[in-house]
Structure 1
Amino acid sequence: MWAPGRERVGSTPFSSDQGGHISSETRINDRIRVPEVRLVGPNGEQVGIVRIEDALRLANESDLDLVEVAPQARPPVCKLMDFGKFKYESAQKARESRRNQQLTVIKEQKLRPKIDQHDYETKKGHVSRFLAAGNKVKVTIMFRGREQSRPELGFRLLQKLADEVAELGFVESSAKQDGRNMIMVLAPHKNVKAKPKAKETAEPAES
């Protein structure tokens, strides 16, 4: 806890009830050098405008820190809190959030517009497996030569695939032409749980 003459500087962001923000530049305790402040109690209650000497005395008597949460206000808004406890709890929450964070892996499947049924079923199986695992799938139709004059073949094939895997995923990005390719992105339904990943990546297609 704080005692007069002892300074502490926090480094954890904090949004107070007053809309303030705590950072490494936030003034705490003896570092607050203004004549008066608008004081907020530890439970968010409004104490009112008080002299800085009185605010520091209340912080010391309560065994708490005086933390400036809205320096741009006139007068600045300060809050009584256990800043050490706040930093610890914020760090715990940040670690828990990172641990639970789930970022989607983007898989890719490439098809030809005139793919035979056996290859199509194989590719569809890969797409279904990826969606079931909670991954997005970028489906690419590759046109060659005269096939480029028949974009409807690609549209029909992508629509057919989307319809047949509809129980596992939905069309997040509709089919669109991209040079010689046509691309559609499928995403898993929200009730499909993905495995936690460190970052979003795009993986090559499986043959």
Structure 2
Amino acid sequence: MRLKNNQYKKRYKINSEILAKVVRLVGKNLPPKIYPLEQALKKAKDLKLDLVEINPKVTPIVCKAMNYSKFLYNLKKKKKKEKKHLIFTKEMRLTSQTSRHDLYFKIEKAKQILKSNKKVKFSIFFKGRSIRYKYLGKQMLLKCIKRLSQITKVEIPPRMEEKKMFIVLIPNFKK
């Protein structure tokens, strides 16, 4: 956990790390105004806050008087929240030679995964000379789409990348 804080510190300069001579100071109880660095540091210190460099690309650079540790905490919290909303993808691997029974078995397994609100990716990897039979792989993927059409939407239609053909299906449930 300590390393993550250091990553954020590298991104934002605080207090004595700021090298500019003049800064635009903003904050909750402060009107935006241009100050010499020493005066801005003094104002932040009087408010018992840190001076954080927000935008170093403009002239004069923008600094904000804020509680830096609370700012880092909110950044971490925001990242965790973003991770929660991700929908995970499960991959079902096939070959152009997969038998009908095995295909239907994988389709049934995909139904269960889709019902748990996850994406499903069907992929066919072509080994050696089997690359000649791309049309068989495409037919198999289209069969998967057809069998699952009532409960899914196609996010990515059959697509070829190097020696791999795949589709991505997403759940189509009304909550």
Which residue matches 1:137? 121
Which residue matches 1:34? 20
CA deviation string 1:76-133 (max 9, x = no partner):
22111111211222233334444554431212244648x56x6664443234334334
Aligned-pair distance for 1:156?
4.7
1:125 to 98, 108, 111: 108
Which residue matches 2:47? 62
Q: Is the 8 A contact 1:38 1:47 kept in 2?
A: yes
Tell me how far apart the structure 2 counterparts of residues 177 and 73 of structure 1 sit (CA, whole Å): 42
Question: Would the alpha carbon gap of residues 68 and 127 (structure 1) be closer, same or farther in structure 2, given more than 3 Å must change?
Answer: closer
Aligned-pair distance for 1:188?
2.0
TM-score norm. by structure 1 comes to 0.59
> Number of matched residues?
166
Q: Is the 8 A contact 1:12 1:90 kept in 2?
A: no
Which residue matches 1:164? 147
TM-score norm. by structure 2 comes to 0.67
Question: Would the alpha carbon gap of residues 32 and 111 (structure 1) be closer, same or farther in structure 2, given more than 3 Å must change?
Answer: closer
Q: Is the 8 A contact 1:59 1:66 kept in 2?
A: yes
CA deviation string 1:117-161 (max 9, x = no partner):
x6664443234334334241315498xx9xx6794x665554343
Question: Would the alpha carbon gap of residues 75 and 186 (structure 1) be closer, same or farther in structure 2, given more than 3 Å must change?
Answer: closer
Which residue matches 1:188? 170
Question: Would the alpha carbon gap of residues 63 and 190 (structure 1) be closer, same or farther in structure 2, given more than 3 Å must change?
Answer: farther
Tell me how far apart the structure 2 counterparts of residues 129 and 48 of structure 1 sit (CA, whole Å): 59
Question: Would the alpha carbon gap of residues 70 and 137 (structure 1) be closer, same or farther in structure 2, given more than 3 Å must change?
Answer: closer
Indicate whether 1:108 and 2:67 are aligned: no
Q: Is the 8 A contact 1:26 1:67 kept in 2?
A: yes
2:158 to 164, 168, 174: 174
- State the identity %: 24
Structure with the larger strand share: 2
Q: Unaligned 5+ residue runs, structure 2?
A: none
Which protein is bigger by CA-based radius of gyration? 1
